[in-house]
Amino acid sequence: MLARRTRVTVFLIVLTLVVATALSARAEGRVCASEPDLAAAKKAVAAVAREFGSRLKLVSLLAPEDVLRRDIEEHFVDLVTPELLNKWLDDPTAAPGRLTSSPWPECIAVDEVKLDGTTRAWVRGHIVWVTSVELAEGGAYAH
């Protein structure tokens, strides 16, 4: 369980980087000042975090290294900085993804998004883990 918590903590740090990158790209270098702009930016950040979460299950950390590298690039390239992507490609064991066949990370439930007024954002949320039972009956195995 400790290893899983460590991986989740590392994942949340990485997610902060991912969201900051997405916000920067969406902000196109301008500072959002009005309430509608802030609301739109928060919505965009939350959408990126949820998209990232939905792709976690597509990257099997137990796959052969060449397959793992291919999956990391395919599923995360448009959501992370080139530097972070290269770090994961150099050391695929540092990448987030699916560790076991069951349960697996189904999505990220976003609880809160905070913006610092520039191109950075912080997301508070949790990974929703499911098994085939939850897929059939609804709910979550763990949060």
For residue 80, what are the β-bridge partners?
Answer: none
- Quote the CA–CA distance of 134 and 123 in Å, as a whole number: 25
d(CA 33, CA 15): 24
- Judge whether residue 124 has pLDDT over 70: yes
106/135: higher pLDDT: 106
What is the tens place of the pLDDT at every residue in 69-107?
999 999 999 999 899 999 999 999 899 999 998 999 999
- Full-model pTM: 0.75
Helical (H) or strand (E) element with 38: helix 35-55
Q: Per-residue pLDDT tens for 3-60? A: 454 455 445 545 555 555 555 555 555 444 567 788 899 999 999 999 999 999 999 9
Range 122-127 average pLDDT: 94
pLDDT at 79: 93
Quick one: 111 exposed, middle or buried, by C-beta within 10 A (0-12, 13-18, 19+)?
Answer: exposed
pLDDT at 38: 85
